[in-house]
């Protein structure tokens, strides 16, 4: 949570709900849906019976908890779909934070004014990036006792890792092109006309036939 802290007003809201435990790590604490059920029960006590929810790490328990919540969401007209919480179940990076922010805005009918971090043009060098093997050493995976569930979690983690790499490479291309052109422009005797021609070629538009 240090890299992506929750907005202050959201933290105060969670504290006011008198939950059974404090949300310290959204990725870990929201994955099984138990804490989410507690939050929703504060607004719809007749529709959410906490005796029906299991605060465990088994995949079956997680799925059952979220399926119960999904029925409540549909019954109460809460605009939360399965694609909103499926990534939370599988601990996708940033998914839990996005979900709890959306839930807060729906239940309180307030708009979060979170300050977004300034965009950075810096490219993280390859030696500083996570590797697939490092992602698989996540303690959230290793603490799962069931072999089948642990394998599924590992496959999901690898899939998300490769998807992140694909998006990262796509985002890097413009930065790399600008960097390359800057280097060429600074070289003694560089052909400025050639550089301008390359930029114009990249921005060419094709008229509709």
Task: Provide the number of structural domains found in the chain.
Answer: 2
- Whether residue 85 lies inside any domain: the answer is yes
User: Does position 207 have pLDDT exceeding 70, yes or no?
Assistant: no
Among residues 108, 140, 164, which one ends one of the domains? 108
For the cut 80, the answer to whether the pLDDT of residue 196 exceeds it is no
Q: Using a pLDDT cut of 70, give the percent of the chain over it.
A: 68
pLDDT at 14 over 70: yes
- Cα separation, 156 vs 140, in Å, equals 13
Note whether residue 194 is domain-resident: yes
Do 16 and 79 lie in a common domain? yes
Instruction: Dig out the tokens for 98 from the structure.
Output: 């996005």
Instruction: State the number of CA atoms in the 13 A half-sphere of 177 facing the CB.
Output: 12
* pLDDT tens column, 75-91: 999 999 888 998 899 88
Residues 6+ apart with CB under 8 A from 156: 90, 91
64 shares a domain with 32: yes
Inside any domain, residue 167: yes
Among 154, 130, 128, which residue's Cα sits nearest to residue 140?
Answer: 154
Q: In this structure, are 99 and 144 located in the same domain?
A: no
145 or 77: which leads in pLDDT: 77
81 in the same domain as 52: yes
Question: Nearest to residue 132, comparing CAs of 103, 160, 152, 151?
Answer: 160
Q: Quick one: average pLDDT of 93-104? A: 91
Q: Classify each residue of 81-92 as buried b or exposed e, where b means 16 or more C-beta atoms within 10 Å of its C-beta.
A: eeebbebbbbbb
Q: Are residues 57 and 133 in the same domain?
A: no
Give the confidence band of 166 by pLDDT, cuts at 50, 70, 90.
confident
Gap between the Cα atoms of 138 and 148, Å rounded: 17
**In this structure, what CATH number is given to the domain that contains residue 13?**
1.10.418.10
Position of tokens 């004014």? 113
Based on the fold, state whether residues 18 and 96 are members of the same structural domain. Answer: yes
| Residue 114 within any structural domain of the chain | no
Distance CA 169, CA 190 (A): 28
Residue 116 domain flag: no
pLDDT at 137 over 50: yes
Cβ atoms of 198 and 184 within 8 Å: the answer is no
Q: Residue 47's domain spans which residues? A: 8-108
14 lies in some domain: yes
Which of 51, 75, 108 marks a domain boundary? 108
Using a 10 angstrom Cβ sphere, with 0-12 exposed, 13-18 middle and 19 or more buried, the burial of residue 9 is middle
Cα 109 to Cα 78, 92, 112, distances in angstroms: 11, 26, 10
Q: Which residue has the higher pLDDT, 49 or 183?
A: 49
Segment among 80-84, 106-110, 115-119, 159-163 with least mean pLDDT: 115-119
């Amino acid at each position: 949570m240090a890299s992506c802290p929750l907005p202050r007003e959201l933290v105060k809201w969670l504290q006011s709900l008198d939950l059974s435990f404090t949300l310290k790590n959204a990725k870990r604490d929201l994955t099984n849906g138990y804490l989410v059920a507690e939050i929703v029960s504060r607004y719809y006590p007749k529709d959410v019976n906490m005796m029906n929810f299991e605060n465990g790490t088994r995949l079956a328990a997680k799925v059952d908890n979220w399926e119960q919540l999904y029925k409540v969401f549909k019954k109460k007209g809460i605009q939360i779909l399965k694609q909103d919480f499926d990534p939370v179940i599988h601990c996708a990076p940033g998914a839990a934070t996005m979900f709890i922010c959306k839930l807060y805005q729906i239940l309180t009918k307030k708009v979060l004014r979170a300050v977004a971090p300034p965009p950075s043009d810096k490219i993280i060098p390859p030696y500083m990036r996570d590797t697939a093997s490092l992602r698989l050493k996540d303690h959230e995976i290793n603490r799962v006792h069931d072999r089948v569930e642990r394998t599924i979690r590992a496959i999901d983690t690898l899939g998300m890792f490769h998807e992140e790499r694909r998006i990262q490479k796509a985002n890097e291309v413009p930065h790399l092109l600008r960097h390359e052109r800057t280097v060429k422009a600074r070289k003694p005797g560089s052909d400025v006309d050639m550089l301008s021609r390359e930029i114009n070629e990249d921005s060419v538009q094709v008229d509709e036939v």
